[in-house]
């Protein structure tokens, strides 16, 4: 990392991760924060990786931000004015989407489950079952003849 990158990371460190993560949890976007420090995503990720446990604290801040955006969506919907209902709907949809990306608790998409069924396997299982039935029937016939 060059001197410019080190200076930018030093500026982030001067503010401190607690302040930065608190701002995130109150709904400030990472894009806005890194824009303030004039850093890109690559340098931001280097800063996150620079200290042990920072990435976990970052994820916790993201989850808290998800709660913020979900709460704001509810407030916007409940306080919608009939004259601006379409704008309010767009704001609610946007906040719901952001909340779902930051916190899995708000991800309401249907989870698809992939199930693969092999017809050959079904045929093999059916043949085995039929073979078992034939064996049982043969055993019953032998048993009846023996009586």
How does residue 67 score in pLDDT terms, banded at 50, 70 and 90? Answer: very high
pLDDT in tens, 85-141: 999 999 999 999 999 999 988 887 766 677 777 777 777 777 777 776 555 555 555
* Cα-Cα end-to-end distance for the chain: 92
Non-local CB neighbours of 8 within 8 Å, separated by 6+ positions: 37, 38, 39, 43
Judge whether residue 30 has pLDDT over 90: yes
Q: For residue 36, what pLDDT is reported?
A: 93
Name the pTM for this structure: 0.67
Pairwise pLDDT comparison (74 vs 141), residue with the higher score: 74
Gyration radius of the chain over CA positions: 30
Owner of token pair 């407030």: 75
């Amino acid at each position: 990392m060059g001197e410019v990158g080190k200076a930018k990371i030093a500026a982030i460190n001067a503010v401190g991760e607690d302040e930065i993560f608190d701002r995130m949890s109150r709904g400030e976007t990472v894009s806005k924060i890194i824009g303030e420090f004039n850093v890109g995503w690559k340098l931001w990720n280097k800063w996150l990786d620079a200290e042990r446990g920072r990435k976990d604290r970052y994820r916790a801040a993201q989850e808290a931000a998800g709660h913020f955006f979900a709460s704001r969506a509810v407030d916007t919907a409940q306080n919608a004015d009939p004259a601006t209902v379409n704008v309010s709907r767009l704001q609610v949809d946007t906040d719901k989407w952001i909340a779902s990306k930051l916190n899995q608790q708000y991800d309401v998409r249907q989870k698809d489950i992939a199930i693969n069924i092999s017809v050959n396997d079904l045929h093999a299982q059916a043949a085995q079952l039929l073979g078992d039935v034939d064996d049982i029937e043969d055993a019953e016939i032998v048993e009846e003849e023996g009586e």
